[in-house]
Amino acid sequence: MEDKVVEERSQRAISSRNKENYMKAKAAFNQKDMAGCMSYYAPDHHIRSRDVGPGRQHIERFLSSMHESWPDLVIVVEHAVAEDDWVVGRCTTTATHAKTVMGAAPTNRQVQATFWDMHRFDADGRIVETWNLMDSLAIMQQLGLVPTQPK
Residue-wise pLDDT tens digits, 22-62: 999 999 999 999 999 999 999 999 999 888 888 999 999 99
Residue-wise pLDDT tens digits, 91-114: 999 999 999 888 888 989 999 999
pLDDT surpasses 90 at 83:
yes
Q: Where does residue 133 rank: exposed (0-12), middle (13-18), buried (19+ CB within 10 A)?
A: exposed
| Confidence category of residue 151, pLDDT binned at 50, 70, 90 | low
pLDDT of residue 3: 77
What is the model's pTM? 0.89
pLDDT surpasses 80 at 122:
yes
Long-range contacts of 97-101 (CB under 8 A, 24+ apart): 97/70, 97/142, 97/143, 98/70, 98/71, 98/72, 99/68, 99/69, 99/70, 99/71, 101/69, 101/70, 101/139, 101/143
pLDDT surpasses 90 at 74:
yes
